[in-house]
Amino acid sequence: MENRSSGILMHISSLPGAYGIGDFGKEAYEFVDFLVKSKQKNWQILPLGVTGYGDSPYQCFSAFAGNPYFIDLNEFIEKGYLNEEDIRNYPLEKDSEKIDYGLLYENKMSLLKIAYNNSKKVLKEKLKEFYIKNKDWLREFSLFMAIKFDQDNKSWLDWDREYKIFNSKEVLSFEKDNQDEIYFWIFTQYFFTKQWKKLKDYTNNKGINIIGDLPIYVAEDSSDLWSNPELFNLDEKLYPITVAGVPPDSFSDLGQLWGNPIYDWEAIEKDEYKWWIKRIKHSFHQVDILRIDHFRGFESYWELDYGSKDAVNGKWVKGPGMKLFNKIKAELGDLNIIIEDLGYNTPEVKELVKGVGFPNMKVLQFSFNPNDESDYLPHNLNRNSVVYTGTHDNNTIKSWFDTMSKEEFEYVSKYLKLDCNEGFNWGIIRGAWASTSKLAIAPIQDFLNLGDKGRMNTPGITEDNWTWRIDKKKLREELAKRIRSLTELYWR
């Protein structure tokens, strides 16, 4: 990350393809080839975890396991674990440009189980070897998911009491008696890991880094909470005492109630931050650069009582600060990390950002206030930063322009010398690429000048998020050439 470079943000799920959701198949490799043609050195994605209720990649069943939806089914067809009739019997999409997670949950998981049943004898030793190698996270995940299936897919907090205690005699007995169901989940992780490594190697060999994303919190319904309750602020019945969110701001009068369990940072420190070090280390096996989401929560976090209806009545509580990052550096050395520190930051947060030394994020959509000079304006950016036109949580550039005030439009137009012949979206991308930030990123939707239909996520709204997929025909040679020209112009 020392040299100037640029990249494109597009999650795996948004790739085109025949199986209802983007995956690790040939379309992913073709997108890497598109990045090469565009002279991009970075491909940014969202978290790779197993999504649950709400389909958010920031609320996963495990901080370590990978999403089975991303497994390329063509490999199973080629090896005879699936056939074309299986695919016809379990359709995976109704609209090629929108993910139907309900259909995937029913049918892709059914196809994966067919593939498992047709291959488990052949793969028995390989799966066992993979399990042994990854047991420090894979046991708790595969056991958790097997029990979850047995308990009608309810949250683990609503399981029968004997199963709520990790490593109880009932759990150990279940583990012994349900090896086939457990090994199905091991099978999913084996192929996720195998296919992702192959794709990552291909990407790296083309001179492109993969930028991953690490949510600060884990989900309430997760194997992490179930197997490590001592590391979280839980009551004697294992329910969270407090949960995470963000306070009211200009975007939301009620704040955002995320509902994630809060860490017991005192217990984590006594354990020498082992769980966090394991998590960071695992992440760097999967990606080359890691964006840490909601970084300000390590300095202080907004804490709310469990059961709160909104995020209004919370309080700020001190986080681990530099102690955590000093320990991570001592154990893992220097790492390529990007920190997400967007929003209002106190002097203490700014001091922590300075202390860790990692580049922080600047979003151009937050820059152009005609009445106040923003730290995010291109002329104020320092080199040790990453500039974005927008993120997965923002409007697309086109939607932003469609909704901004006349004064704001006049200011941004004058500042960047926007020209409708160039395209306003390209003018904003030009502003990012021309900046002094060492890394510039834009979502693929901004290159394509998509409106509301291209939005990935609307914070605070649970429906219709994370469903967007790209039309393959949009990734034309002409677009790659235009991106390449801009990239070469600004020496990225």
Active site residue 95: no
Q: Is the separation of the CB atoms in 261 and 240 below 8 Å?
A: yes
Active site residue 150: no
Helix 135-150, helix 109-133: angle, nearest 10: 150
Q: Is the separation of the CB atoms in 311 and 257 below 8 Å?
A: yes
**Residues facing residue 249 across a β-bridge:** 252
What does 172-233 look like in DSSP terms, one character per residue? Answer: HHHHHH-HHHHHHHHHHHHHHHHHHHHHHHHHHHTT-EEEEEE-SS--SSSHHHHH-GGGB-
Q: Is the separation of the CB atoms in 262 and 226 below 8 Å?
A: no
**Which strands make up the sheet holding 256-261, listed edge to edge?**
256-261, 242-246, 300-305, 315-318
AA identity, residue 343 = G
Active site residue 253: no
Q: Which of 299, 340, 341, 446 is catalytic?
A: 340
Largest CA distance in the chain: 70
What six digits make up the tokens of 135? 């047991």
> Shortest CA distance to 71 belongs to which of 212, 195, 210?
195
Q: Which of 30, 150, 310, 393 is catalytic?
A: 393
CA distance 284 to 286: 5
- Burial group, residue 343, by CB count within 10 angstroms (0-12, 13-18, 19+): middle
What six digits make up the tokens of 317? 């509580």
Q: Which of 75, 293, 310, 348 is catalytic?
A: 293
Q: Is the separation of the CB atoms in 289 and 280 below 8 Å?
A: no
Residue numbers annotated as active site: 293, 340, 393
